[in-house]
Amino acid sequence: MGNRIPIRWAETSLVLLPGLDGTGELFASALELDWGGMQPVVCPLPATGPQDYASLAGSLAPRLPEGELVLLAESFSSPLAMHLASHRPGRIRALVLVSGFCTAPASSGLGWLPLRPMFEVTPPAFFLKRFLTGEQAPQALLDHLTLVLQQTPGATLTERVRVALALLEDECPAPDDLPILLLQARHDRLIPWETQSRLERHFPDAEVDWINGPHLLMQTRTQDCRNAVIRFLAAGQP
């Protein structure tokens, strides 16, 4: 499971890399929690410019906090975190992938469809519940999610979807000397089981924690995610 280096909690930043929206605003509930003394820092994705993972990694690497880091990446950003980990091996103490993937989460042929019109309209509540939040999601979360998606340009969301649908596994670095935690959503209707299984095979030494929740685990099972991360990091303590 990689070289376990004890976490110096108060001197470590927990870098939160957002999902498809890229804003980081959906991490609001996570920022209210105590992460064992680590300072949570949201790192939004650039809303303009190239959205492929190599370009995003090049853009974000200089903006990472100083000192030791734990990267926590949600969904779309999971391959991005892999790239960042390969660029900054000396500073990154662990990698946490939430509802992640290392290959296209759906048929690459979908990338040829006219996706942009989908992001020019307000997503209906039944769509958000089925694929992202689960049927029991409170209205406040649905409203917040809708607002956040509307803040990101439709062209940018479309490009990110195309990047994800074109992803190949050999494009995802797999550092074998880094502790890695995979938080998998047991009721994920966006990332199919085979894609989840492929991620586990990509990181055969990773610790895997299946959480009873929908795709947006960090928004719907925030405390469970926090507890899993703390347990995982604390396991490396003397």
**Domains annotated on the chain, with CATH:** 9-234 (3.40.50.1820)
Q: What is the pTM of this model?
A: 0.92
One pLDDT digit (tens) per residue for the chain, 238 residues: 556 668 899 999 999 999 999 999 999 999 999 999 999 999 999 999 999 999 999 999 999 999 999 999 999 999 999 999 987 667 899 999 999 999 998 743 333 333 444 545 567 788 888 889 999 999 999 999 989 988 888 889 989 998 999 999 999 998 878 999 999 999 998 898 999 999 999 999 999 999 999 999 999 999 999 999 999 999 866 5
CA distance 111 to 166: 7
Task: Specify the pLDDT at position 190.
Answer: 87
In which element (H, E) is residue 14 found? strand 12-17
Task: Specify the pLDDT at position 200.
Answer: 97
Q: Name every residue whose Cβ is closer than 8 Å to that of residue 155 and which is 6 or more positions away in sequence.
A: 116
CA distance 103 to 195: 7
Task: Specify the pLDDT at position 150.
Answer: 86
Task: Specify the pLDDT at position 106.
Answer: 73
Task: Specify the pLDDT at position 176.
Answer: 76
Residue 1 is classified by DSSP as -
Task: Specify the pLDDT at position 112.
Answer: 38
Q: Name every residue whose Cβ is closer than 8 Å to that of residue 60 and which is 6 or more positions away in sequence.
A: 17, 43, 45, 46, 80, 84
